[in-house]
Amino acid sequence: MKTKPLASALLLAGFALVAAPAFADVPPIGDAPFNGTLKIAVDATDLAHRVFRVNETIPAQPGPLTLLFPQWIPGHHSPTGPIDKFAGLVIKANGKVLPWTRDPLNVYAFHVDVPQGASEVQAYFEFLSPQDPRQGRVVMTPEMLNLQWDAMSLYPAGYNIRKINAQGSVTYPAGWKAGTALEVASTSGDTVTYKPLTYNALVDSPIYAGKYFKRVDLDPGAKTPVFMNFVADDPKYLEMKPEQIKPHRELVQQMYKLYGAHHYDHYDFLVSLSDKMSGNGLEHHRSSEDGVGADYFTEWDKNVYARDLFSHEFNHSWDGKYRRGADLTTPNFNVPMSDTLLWVYEGQTQFWGNVIAARAGLWNKDETLDMFALVAATYDQGRPGLASWRNVQDTTNDPTIAQRRPLPYRNYQASEDYYSAGAMIWLDVDGKLRELTRGKKKIDDFARAFFGMNNGDWSVNTYVFEDVVKTLNDIAPYDWTSYLRTRLDGHGPLIGGIASHGWKLVYTDKPSKAVKAMESRRHAADLTYSLGLSVGKDGSIGDVLWDSPAFKAGLSPAMTIVAVNGKEYSADAVKDAVTAAAKDKSQPVELLVKNFDAYKTVRIDYHGGLKYPHLIRDTSKPDTLSDLIKPL
Tens-digit pLDDT profile for residues 345-365: 999 999 999 999 999 999 999
Task: Output phi, psi for 67, to 5 deg.
Answer: -105, 135
Question: Which residues have C-beta within 8 Å of that of residue 469, sequence separation ≥ 6?
Answer: 480, 481, 484
By the 8 A CB rule, do 265 and 282 touch?
no
- Reference 247, options 362, 405, 103, 372; nearest CA is 362
Query: Which residues, listed in sequence order, are joined to residue 18 by a DSSP beta bridge?
Result: none
The Cα–Cα gap between 161 and 149 comes to: 13
Q: Exposure pattern of 16-54 as b/e (b: 16+ CB <10 Å)?
A: eebbeeeebbbbebeeeebebbbbbbbbbbebeebbbbb
Question: Which residues have C-beta within 8 Å of that of residue 602, sequence separation ≥ 6?
Answer: 553, 554, 555, 590, 591, 592, 593
What is residue 128's predicted lDDT score, i.e. its pLDDT?
Answer: 98
The pLDDT confidence band at residue 537, using thresholds 50, 70 and 90, is confident
The residues of the chain that CATH labels 2.60.40.3650 are 31-194
By the 8 A CB rule, do 531 and 564 touch?
no
The Cα–Cα gap between 357 and 349 comes to: 12
In order, the DSSP letters of 208-273 are EEESSEEEEESSTT-SS-EEEEEEESSGGGG---HHHHHHHHHHHHHHHHHHS--S-SSEEEEEEE
Question: Which residues have C-beta within 8 Å of that of residue 43, sequence separation ≥ 6?
Answer: 52, 53, 54, 55, 171
- Reference 444, options 220, 624, 184; nearest CA is 624
| pLDDT above 60 (res 575) | yes
3-state secondary structure 345-388: HCHHHHHHHHHHHHHHCCCCHHHHHHHHHHHHHHCCCCCHHHHH
What is residue 24's predicted lDDT score, i.e. its pLDDT?
Answer: 67
| pLDDT above 60 (res 10) | no
Q: For 31-194, give the CATH class.
A: mainly beta
- Reference 427, options 624, 220, 151; nearest CA is 624
The count of other CB atoms within 10 Å of the CB of residue 574 is: 24
How high does pLDDT run on average in the chain? Answer: 94
Question: Between helices 308-315 and 242-259, what is the axis angle to 10°?
Answer: 30
| Nearest-5° Cα angle at 374, 365 to 498 | 70
Rounded (10°) CA dihedral 274, 280, 284, 288: 30
CATH, domain range 327-503 = 1.10.390.10
| pLDDT above 80 (res 19) | no
Question: Residues 360-375: what's their mean pLDDT?
Answer: 97
The pLDDT confidence band at residue 520, using thresholds 50, 70 and 90, is confident
By the 8 A CB rule, do 569 and 561 touch?
yes
| Nearest-5° Cα angle at 22, 21 to 27 | 45
| pLDDT above 80 (res 15) | no
The pLDDT confidence band at residue 412, using thresholds 50, 70 and 90, is very high
- The pTM score is 0.94
Range scoring the smallest mean pLDDT among 3-12, 96-105, 373-382, 541-550 = 3-12
Q: Exposure pattern of 270-281 as b/e (b: 16+ CB <10 Å)?
A: bbbbbeebbbbb
CATH, domain range 513-610 = 2.30.42.10
By the 8 A CB rule, do 550 and 604 touch?
yes
